[in-house]
Structure 1
């Protein structure tokens, strides 16, 4: 049995795909920029002995990394779920 979602069943689904794609791109760009800035602040704060700022910057690096992984892996995960549903 071949079960696949009907993506054309709703009106305006193409517009929704474009919006989601644009938002995903923005999230990935912001996450990567946040990762870079937080890593720079972490390095500078650690070098100057400011442990409070280094701790907050380290948290920023971890949050940016998780956000980038979730945003980047969201499409792959959804495709995997659709493929899994096709096999049921």
Structure 2
């Protein structure tokens, strides 16, 4: 039987890598908010100018930016969930 677990102190630079990943997650969330704002503006312009193509693109942008925020926010939880599922196999 082999019992191997992640080692948080096995390599130098692990803590710096955690800081970098956290910063990238923050940038991803900020860009998601920016995309949501821009998409909502496009959606509003499309709806008020009777341009269904522009309104549709704005709606799609709102959904995509919300999806990106969900993935950025839940990434650690998702990885931990699938790690635990993999350990149970």
Range of TM-score over shorter length? 0.7 to 0.9
Structure 2 equivalent of residue 12 of structure 1: 13
Structure 1 equivalent of residue 52 of structure 2: 51
Relative contact order, higher structure (CA 8 A, sep 6+): 1
SS in 2 for 1:11: coil
Query: Any stretches of 5+ residues in structure 2 without a counterpart?
Result: none
Q: TM-score, normalised by structure 1?
A: 0.81
Tell me the matched-pair count: 88
Q: CA deviation at 1:3?
A: 5.7
Q: TM-score, normalised by structure 2?
A: 0.81
Query: Any stretches of 5+ residues in structure 1 without a counterpart?
Result: none
1:3 to 1:81, Cα distance in 2 relative to 1, 3 A? farther
Q: CA RMSD in A?
A: 2.1
- Judge conservation of contact 1:27–1:68 (CA < 8 Å) in 2: yes
- Judge conservation of contact 1:34–1:61 (CA < 8 Å) in 2: yes
